[in-house]
Structure 1
Amino acid sequence: MMRPTLEDVARHAGVSRATVSRVVRGDVGVAGETAAKVSAAVAKLGYVPNASARSLATGRSNTLAMVVPEPDGRVFSDPFFGLAVAGINAGLSGTDMQLVMVFASRPDRSGAVVDFLLEGRVAGAIIVSHHRSDGLVAAAASLPIPTVFLGAPLLRTSDRRAYFVDTDNTAGARLAAERMMATGVRRPATVAGPLDMAAALDRMTGFADPFEAAGLEVAVAHGDYTRESGARAAAELLDRDPTIDGIFAASDLMAQGVMDTLHDRNIPIGDQVKVIGFDDFEAAAQTHPPLTTIVNPAVELGRQATLMVLNLVEGRDTPSPVILPVELHVRQSG
């Protein structure tokens, strides 16, 4: 069965194609009786406006891009990305906007991604999990479309003001440190994320500062937010200092890797070594023992980033940054 067209609705309602187009767009200048006839024809025929045609007519795309500069394997294995997409879709609810995902998994792909964004196919972009080394922060300064970062970017003084939403990473890591200090940890360590990500730096310093204020040094190793890197970093830390009695991992996946290493070495988790993660995704309650962790509101981050970019698209006043609060979920690991 052929999909009804604007012309079909116009013939059925006995009005011009232009009048139907105005009613479908929500133009309040159409007389009430005429608008009612058009609306009845739309309902009877099951007409659905063509988004592409509407974009051409208005000169504005109805598409947002979610740009992810991470390897494909991490995108599909880390729950954060799926939850962020769910939040973005929630933010798009009730709009005519659609979402496309753009992957920039290698540094040499950032130029192609920027070219795509410059072609006018999208009304705005949300850049997720960016690194300073991927070039997208600097490139965003040249984009003529509204751009929002999900996660604070590492900015140079020459960069323009950036719009972003983020979790209060520093406060979350401080909660982890305070919990460990309260439970008697005196040889603390952290598995931090990559140094070219603002979240990694904030979580590392937020954890270290309370211990250093108490005269205790924090050992540091780095991972890339994967479970495997957490296991390697934990092994490195324990090889350097077998007396470590508390490890804060900057993500739940890395915390699971830390626990893998502790299990392999028959080190009791929660007794001999406390472990705290950062995310509180579903798997955190299913580890052995269940993982103490900081809540990272990934769905709400995605929703807030979407609201921010839609405000920018519509030219509305848009406060930035939006920083979401955190809380600690205590379980047996820490």
Structure 2
Amino acid sequence: MTSRPGPSTIEEVAQRAGVSRSTVSRVLNGVATVDPKMRRAVDDAVRATGYVPNLAARSLVTRRTNSVALVISEPASGIAGAEFLQRIFSDPYFGRVTAGAQHVLRATGVHLVVVPADREAHDFVLSYLRQGHVDGVLFLAGGDEHGLPHALYEMNVPVVLSHRPSAALPVSWVDADQTIGGRLAAEHLGRLGRRRAVVLAGPPELAAARERLAGFRAAAEGLGIAVAVVHGDYSARSGTAGGRRILAEHPTADAVFAANDLVAEAVVRVLVDAGRHVPADVAVVGFDDSTTARDAVPALTTIRQPVEDMAGEMARLLLDRIRTPDQPARGVMFAPTLVVRETA
């Protein structure tokens, strides 16, 4: 039997490319000042030899894992375990966040690890992050519940939040102006002549839910629109329950502003099943502009958050923080827009 040859080495790559070992290292580490001809020669040699960098050894030198965590926390919903995981993987919002972050991270060779952080997993998540498995955290939640963002800051873990911190927490963040989103929904319904609206709001302990409701109420008051509020969460189940409450408690409502598109789609189904015409009898506006909004029948009028762009900006801010830990925290605010389809 012939012995199988061992893996190629960096010296073999250097010899084949006709450059020094240090030049190969600089190319593999993405140093921008390497001469383009040398870079191409090294790339060709890597492909020809089948060389695979020893990432474990490299991490001992750079103290980098080339991985970041997307921590998804929704403690306000009160769900945990399998139900929490089902919520994450069924809500198109989380898929959009992952896609937007991946688009930026993959271009830099950084891996994304999704870490669910329900109530039951709080200590596990902190332990995992404390052990240095990732270089930083994209923290996705509507508020500072559980104190996780503060704990990460105290641990000196680079972190970027998907919301503007409610307290004086000096970490970078990305958000959409939720107040403007609520205002856009009210103004659109006002232009349609609607005067009796029900807001199926998200959990009041979440900043985004409070801000959307405040923006809607402020604009509705100026337009002479009466507003009733029903609090729930961001699930289709909550939308079904909210729709039934509208029929029972607010039968003359002619407009609904829903917490998100999943809620809006469920409300439309309840109203239509009860014999209401959408939008002739009741106009419905969702929030997010997810695939749910586009695929629903009828297609949902909604407030668009540029979620993929927001997640990509989060990734860029985190990479900057990892490279330059001492830079000041930054906040980036995106503007939502109205997307008119068939329900309003």
Partner of 1:327: 337
Distance in 1 (CA, whole Å) between partners of 2:297 and 2:215 is: 26
What is the root-mean-square deviation in Å for CA atoms of aligned residues?
A: 2.8
Query: 12-21 or 110-119: which moved more?
Result: 12-21
Check conservation: 1:223, 1:254, Cα contact below 8 A.
no
**Contiguous gaps of at least 5 residues in structure 2:** 75-83
Using the alignment, how far apart are the partners of 2:39 and 2:120 within structure 1?
A: 52
C-alpha deviations, 1:138-178, integer Å up to 9, x for none? 3233231210012334x23xx42231111221111111100
* 1: CA distance, partners of 2:201 / 2:69: 29
Asked if the contact 1:132/1:196 (under 8 Å) is kept, the reply is: no
Q: Distance in 2 between matches of 1:82 and 1:66?
A: 12
Structure 1 runs not aligned, ≥5 long: none
For residues 216-243 of structure 1, give each alpha carbon's deviation from its aligned partner in whole angstroms, at most 9, with x where no partner exists.
4311112211111011022223322211
1:287 aligns with 2:296: yes
Counterpart residue type for residue 112 of structure 1: F
Aligned to 1:163: 172
Q: 1:295 to 1:332 in 2, by over 3 A?
A: same
Task: For 1:127-276, list aligned pairs within 5 A.
Answer: 127-153=139-165, 155-156=166-167, 159-276=168-285
Count of aligned positions: 330
Match of 2:50 in 1: 46
SS at match of 1:269: coil
Residues 188 and 218, structure 1, Cα contact 8 Å, conserved in 2: yes
Moved more, 288-297 or 127-136: 127-136
**How has the CA–CA distance of structure 1 residues 235 and 134 changed in structure 2, closer, same or farther, with 3 Å as cutoff?**
farther
Tell me which residue corresponds to 2:80: none
Deviations 1:28-82 (A, max 9, x none): 8999999887666434313232323221111222111110124111111111111
Alignment CA distance shift 1:239-1:119 (3 Å): same
CA distance in 2, matches of 1:281, 1:160: 30
2:229 counterpart SS class: strand
From 82, 101, 111, give the equivalent of 1:98: 111
Partner of 2:78: none
Distance 1:30 1:202, change over 3 A: closer
**Using a 3 Å threshold, how does the CA distance of structure 1 residues 39 and 162 change in structure 2: closer, same or farther?**
closer
The separation in 2 between residues aligned to 1:28 and 1:330, in whole angstroms, is 45
SS at match of 1:239: helix
The residue aligned with 1:78 is: 91
* Identity rate, percent: 38
Shift of 1:26: 5.2
Aligned residue for 1:141, secondary structure, equals helix
Amino acid at match of 1:333: T
Asked if 1:122 is matched to 2:126, the reply is: no
Q: Distance in 2 between matches of 1:175 and 1:141?
A: 35
**Matches of 1:197 and 1:80 in 2, distance apart?**
16
> Structure 1 residues 196 and 10 mapped into 2: Cα distance closer, same or farther (>3 Å)?
same
Cα deviation, residue 262, structure 1:
0.5
